[in-house]
Amino acid sequence: MVTSNNDCFRNWINRLWVGIGSKMISNLYFVESKEKPEEYKIGVVWVIGDETKEVISFLCPCKCGDIINLNLLPGASERWKYRGNKTITPSIKRKTGCMSNFTITGGMIKFHNDVENR
């Protein structure tokens, strides 16, 4: 049996997608608000502040239950940038607790360690 270049490429993409898909969580819901919420839910990312966005707040996606707060204020020594396309940069590397390491790009979370497999 002869396989075409298209079949080889398609198989390679499928293998790649399965590998990536096992470490990705999608469909994050972003909410802009003036205040932090009273209750947090997994998959909801809060962008807090008036005209100037000050902080991003959400439950850790590894499901450890911790609330993550990311500073957006310019001039801070440790800060993140929120882009309107549901992207937060740089990556989030927790230094305490579950030690999760992940990125949020286009509303999808990609883990860079194995904490999501707990």
Please spell the DSSP secondary structure of 31-75, one letter per residue. Answer: EEESS--SS--TTEEEEEESSSEEEEEEE-TTSS-PEEEEE--TT
Give me the long-range contacts of 95-100 (CB less than 8 A, separation at least 24): 97/60, 97/64, 97/66, 98/60, 98/62, 98/64, 98/66, 100/60, 100/61, 100/62, 100/64
User: pLDDT below 50 — which residues of the chain?
Assistant: 1, 3, 12-22, 116-118
The whole-number pLDDT of residue 15 equals 46
The whole-number pLDDT of residue 19 equals 44
Which pTM value belongs to this model? 0.74
* Residue extents of the structural domains in the chain: 25-117
The whole-number pLDDT of residue 27 equals 79
State the residue for tokens 């590894």. Answer: 62
